[in-house]
């Protein structure tokens, strides 16, 4: 579990990256900032606590794998890789610009540390299942982690992958559902309801955990619990807030994608600092 020092360090890292997301969005002229913020704390926990990855050896065959199935949230993912040391943070200034390695969706052929090109929703979980099954066949110990969006679960390919993972007893696969309750066209439950979500995953043969996706302790406990479960894959339904940390973005469908001017950027930075100050950071 987390020590107090680890907990505070992870919060500090998340704070730094939230500021980076705002700055990068401003320079890019816009990004899918709401979903990047909602998934961020999970990515911070994985990359800075649990995942076996080495920026000096990004293609190590024994490394853990990570797939951001909701690839439109690359604005949150790419700054995590930069903070981890996979490439120079200065490169973030080129996000979504001509000849940049970073588009609105991640390209594994261009981004060091990125295991899968994603963005076509419903593809990331099937790829993750393939990675986990490959590890089993090769008798390797690496874990595969995947984040899917809640709106993304409208895609039937996810449920085909879910059946496959359960059939092959992929207990080396851990999936997080970024349950921020919003998708591009509105609230998920209004556009295409996915409830009862817990019952669906259980029916497909998965162990299901439910957490606050912004609570570092709960995220850590879920990962620790998942690693003790054998014979079936695990999904964590992470209850999150779209635009987490920025008061005027939080829980707003319109911030699925948006641009930030200098005045909004200043307000966003102040809001982020206020949130972490209240957490004692």
The CATH code of the domain at 4-278 is: 3.40.50.970
pLDDT at 1: 79
- Nearest alpha carbon to residue 41 among 228, 184, 175, 217: 217
- pTM reported for the whole predicted model: 0.98
pLDDT at 75: 98
Q: Are 34 and 182 in contact (CB under 8 A)?
A: yes
Distance set, CA 263 to CA 253, 259, 273, 278 (Å): 21, 12, 16, 23
- Tokens representing residue 37 in the block: 């913020």
Digit-coded pLDDT (tens) for 64-109: 999 999 999 999 999 999 999 999 999 999 999 999 999 999 999 9
Distance set, CA 33 to CA 126, 236, 241, 244, 262 (Å): 25, 22, 12, 10, 15
Low-confidence ranges of the chain (pLDDT < 70): none
Exposed / middle / buried, residue 261 (Cβ in 10 Å: 0-12, 13-18, 19+): exposed
pLDDT at 247: 98
pLDDT at 91: 97
CA distance from start to end of the chain: 20
């Amino acid at each position: 579990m987390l020590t107090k020092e680890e907990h505070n360090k992870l919060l500090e890292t998340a704070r730094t990256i939230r500021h980076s997301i705002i700055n990068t969005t401003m320079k890019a002229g816009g990004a899918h900032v709401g979903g990047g913020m909602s998934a961020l704390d999970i990515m911070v926990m994985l990359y800075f606590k649990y995942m076996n990855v080495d920026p000096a050896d990004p293609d190590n065959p024994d490394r853990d794998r990570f797939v951001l199935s909701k690839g439109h949230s690359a604005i949150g993912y790419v700054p995590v890789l930069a903070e981890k040391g996979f490439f120079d943070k200065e490169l973030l200034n080129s996000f979504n610009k001509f000849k940049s390695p970073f588009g609105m969706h991640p390209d594994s052929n261009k981004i060091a540390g990125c295991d899968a090109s994603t963005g076509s929703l419903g593809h990331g979980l099937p790829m993750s299942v393939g990675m986990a099954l490959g590890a089993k066949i090769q008798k390797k110990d690496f874990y595969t982690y995947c984040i899917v969006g809640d709106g993304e679960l409208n895609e039937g390919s996810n449920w085909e992958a879910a059946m496959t993972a359960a059939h092959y007893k992929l207990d080396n696969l851990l999936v997080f559902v970024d349950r921020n309750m919003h998708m591009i066209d509105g609230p998920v439950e209004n556009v295409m309801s996915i409830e009862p979500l817990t019952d669906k995953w259980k029916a497909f043969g998965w162990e299901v955990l439910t957490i606050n996706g912004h609570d570092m302790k709960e995220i850590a406990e879920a990962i620790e619990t998942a690693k003790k479960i054998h014979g079936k894959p695990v999904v964590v339904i992470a209850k999150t807030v779209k635009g987490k940390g920025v008061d005027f973005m939080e829980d707003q469908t319109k911030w699925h994608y948006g641009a930030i001017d200098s005045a909004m950027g200043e307000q966003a930075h102040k809001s982020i600092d206020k949130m972490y100050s209240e957490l004692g950071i």
